[in-house]
Each structure stands twice: as C-alpha cells, then as structure tokens.
Amino acid sequence: MDRRANLTKWFATATAIGMFIVLLMGARVTATGSADGCGNDWPLCNGSWLPADTYESLTEYSHRFVTGIEGMLVLGTTLLAWPMRRKHPSFILLVPAMAGTLVLQSLMGAAAVKWPTSAKVMATHFGISLVCLASAALLARVLYLDEHTDDDRLRRHHAVPNNYRLFAAATIVVSVIVAYAGAYVRHTGAELACTSWPTCNGEVIPSFTGLEGIQTWHRLSALVISVMLVILLAWSFKLRMERQDLFVLSVLAMTLVLVQSAIGGIVVYSGLQLLATLAHAGVMAMLFVVLCEVTRSVWPERVHQVETRSQPSIAAQPTGD
C-alpha cells in the first residue's frame, strides 16, 4: 500500500471512530435532556464561545466541539479518498455519502437549536448519523482489505444469488426503520410507556396508539429485523464454503441484535439508566455498519468490471517471434 492509501486508511479509521463517538454523545444529549444546554444560540453557546458552568451546557457544548473535530476528519478523508475512486469504485458512493450526511446532520442540529423541531425530524437526525458512520467505516474496511490481500475482489467472483443481494439490502432498509423508531421513542419521551419487557405493561397485545403505541411499533420493527437476520444467517450458512466472510458477518449481526434486545430490556427495567441507553444506541450503530458491509461485499463493482473487460488479456495480445 502506498503512502497516500495508508494515510487515507488511517484518516478513514479515525473518522469512523470519531463518528461513533459523535453518535454516542448525541444520544447522551438527548438522554440527559441537554439539548437546550446552549439555549437557542448556534454556533455560540448562551451567547458565548464557551459553555456555561452547568451539566446541560457542558454536555451540549462538548457534543458540538467533538462534531467540529469530526468535520475536519471527514474533510481530510474526503480529499484523500476521492482521487482513489477509480481503483476503489465503491468510493464513488461512500465518499459523497460520508461528507454529505455529516453536513446535513450538522445543519439539522443547528436548525433544532435555532427553531423548534419535531420529534420526527430529530429521529431522522439519528438515521443520518448512521449513514455517515457506515460510510466512513466501509471506506476504512476497503482500504484494510486492499492492504493485506485482494481477497475482497476474489470473493466477489464467488457470486451469490441475486435474491441474497436484495435481501441483504432489505435488511439495511429495515434496520434504518428500527433505528428511526428507536430515536422517535426517545424524542417523544415514550421510553417508559411500557414498563415491562417483552410485554407492554403486562399485555401481550398492547395498545397501538399514544405513547404505548410508539413503543409497540418500535418493538415490532425490532422483531421484524430479528426474523430477517435469522433468515440471513441460515442463508449464509448454506453459502459458507464459498463465502465464509458472509457467514461470519451474519453471525456477528445476529449476535448484535440479540445483545440489542437484551439491552432494550435493561433500559426499561433500569428506568433509562444512562449507560444502558448509550449502549442501546451504540449496538444499533454497529449492527447497521455490519449489515452495510454484508451488502457491500456481495454487490458487484461494475465500474471495476467494465475497466477489467476493456483491457486486453495477455493471452489475446500478439506475440513476437
């Protein structure tokens, strides 16, 4: 790996780690009710460049500060990775997704401070953060694979059924719905609308209206993604001889969703204990990244294939006497 690629790898890794921290800090702001810690000022904090000496102000200000550092990391990764898009065609999607979503979520955060914002908009903010995190993580993943071997591209020659690709992509869509529903639960204050788990206030079939309904729909969406991951695991098990990587990723995804479900129960029974709440958001983020990697690793890089076909093979070239 040349110097530029190595530098890009480290920038992408730092960006992914930084985005994960930003995501957790954002969840902390919401969980502790610190969204108004800087008042209605942005980028200032209560009319000053420094926060007030209160927990809420320090929490909100630290989130903004780390987001600013993350913005510089994203800029650096973008400038380094974009010229590498011919060698790594997936960068054509990943780089704009990473940079664009960070800008978008920053603008949404600023708008939420300046003007009243609905719970639906704030829940979308979390989903956008997941896309930024996954884009940076996959950038780093591609470069790490390229550093060691060409196994990533060799695996793509072991084609998986097209239905598997579509199903893997569908798990990403459903995981976004689950993440949105969870964020919507937080921003509407419906976390403890159901004081028992997995039932809701002791009812197997709870109400689908009001705060209970919001919590119920979140739990149902979590059940749907769990069933889909069981199917993905069984399917990947059948393909394990040719695509062991898919089997490993599906096992990891299944493990994460089980851990996520257990943490969800802890969140309820602990009365929204902060560490449990942050862990719930963090595991969801990791699950989303894993599912994105499953889809990336089975989707053919068509640009690369076209370029490969356009180059004459050695066997086809005329040989001199």
Q: Which residues are catalytic?
A: 60
- What 3-state class would DSSP assign to 35? coil
Instruction: Please give the backbone phi and psi of residue 203, each rounded to the nearest 5 degrees, phi first.
Output: -100, 130
DSSP code string of 86-150? TTSTTHHHHHHHHHHHHHHHHHHHHHHHHS---HHHHHHHHHHHHHHHHHHHHHHHHHHHHHH-S
Nearest-angstrom CA–CA distance, 232 and 172:
12
Instruction: Tell me 48's DSSP state.
Output: B
Nearest-angstrom CA–CA distance, 91 and 83:
9
Element (H, E) at 210: helix 210-238
Instruction: Report the residue count for the chain.
Output: 321
Sorted by sequence, the CB contacts under 8 Å of residue 124 that are 6+ apart come out as 108, 180, 183
CA–chain centroid gap for 172, Å, is 10
Closest CA to 174 of 271, 93, 88, 284: 284
Task: Collect contacts of 246-253 with beta carbons under 8 A, ≥24 apart.
Answer: 246/160, 246/294, 246/297, 246/298, 249/290, 249/293, 249/294, 249/297, 250/294, 252/290, 253/171, 253/229, 253/287, 253/290, 253/291, 253/294
